[in-house]
Amino acid sequence: MKKVLFAALCLVYLELSMRVVSAPICSYGQAGCHVPSLADLFERVIQQSSRMHSVSSDLHSEFEQYFFPSKNIMGKRKCHTYDILTPQDKENAQRLGREQLTEVIVTLLRAWGEPLSELHQSMSQDQHQDFNIYSSNKALEISDIVHELKDGVKIITDKMRLMGVLSNTVGYNSPESLVPSSAFYTQGDLDSMDHHDLLYCFRRDSNKVKNYLRVLKCTTLPELGC
């Protein structure tokens, strides 16, 4: 009986003394925080953007395969992010500078938040059973990634501002061009054409985001060996 009591006391003591606590990741350098480096942040963000692009590509190709076998058909519908000015080639992207490039990235990501969630909702509620469950999950996934990516890029810009790498300059896009994304969509159901167009547009924009993030990383941290 005494032994049992002793063992119980030992266990209680161990339980109280050894507690596993996860170290919080915080970007503001609070005490007791593990602060990730800029390189780590970039690495994470690039991974996410790569994932975002590949999922969107898969989704788009599935859609095309399923609904539009002929590849070249596409209505000349403009993407809702058409008015967001983005560099179209390498030289322009490099000439843009870090601040403006960052701003472009953020703008793009912000523009896609709502449409993607709408897309997911629409796909999961599809009456015609057009999409299998996996496509719907993919839409949800990219919606989440875009959300996370937005936060991640914001953290990076804050950190770069802290490090003095980033300065406050005039934005690349004039404020007028930043049209709220929801204006492009009716609040009603999106049909398949809408889905297809959305996916097409998003595939392109996710590729842009991925590319811009890589250029940003290599110009900001060239020593990492791009």
Counting contacts by CB under 8 A, is residue 39 touching other proteins? no
As a whole number of angstroms, the distance between CA 150 and CA 203 comes to: 17
* Binding-site member from 26, 27, 36, 57 for other proteins (CB under 8 A): 57
Which stretch, 13-21, 27-35, 49-57, 182-190, contacts other proteins (CB under 8 A)? 49-57
Q: Quick check: 38 and 163 in contact, CB under 8 A?
A: yes
Instruction: Give every CB contact of residue 62 below 8 A, 6+ residues apart in sequence.
Output: 135
SS3 content of the chain, % helix, strand, coil (to 5): 65, 0, 35
Nearest Cα residue to 160 out of 218, 102, 104, 202: 102
Site size toward other proteins, by CB under 8 A:
25
Helix (H, G, I), strand (E, B) or coil at 165: coil
89 binds other proteins, rule: CB under 8 A: yes
Q: What is the smallest separation between the CB atom of 125 and other proteins, expressed in angstroms?
A: 30
CB 72, min distance to other proteins, A: 5
Evaluate whether 103 touches 171 at the Cβ level (below 8 Å): yes
Residue 6: phi and psi, rounded to 5, are -65, -45
The reply to whether 60 sits near other proteins by the rule CB under 8 A is no
Nearer to other proteins, 110 or 210 (CB): 210
One of 6, 67, 90, 180 touching other proteins (CB under 8 A)? 90
The least distance separating other proteins from the CB of residue 173, rounded to whole angstroms, comes to 15
Nearest distance from residue 90's CB to other proteins, in Å? 5
* Region binding other proteins by CB under 8 A among candidate stretches 6-14, 130-138, 145-153, 214-222: 214-222
Q: Using the rule CB under 8 A, which residue among 22, 30, 88, 127 binds other proteins?
A: 88
> Site for other proteins (CB under 8 A): which residue of 72, 168, 186, 187?
72
Min dist CB 215 to other proteins, Å, is: 5
Q: Is 130 exposed, middle or buried (0-12, 13-18, 19+ CB in 10 A)?
A: middle
Q: Of 119, 89, 144, 139, which is closest to residue 195 (Cα–Cα)?
A: 119
Site for other proteins in 174-213 (CB under 8 A): 204, 207-208, 210-211
Burial of 171 (0-12, 13-18, 19+ CB in 10 A): middle
Positions touching other proteins (CB under 8 A) are: 50, 53-54, 57, 72, 74, 86, 88-91, 93-94, 204, 207-208, 210-211, 214-219, 226
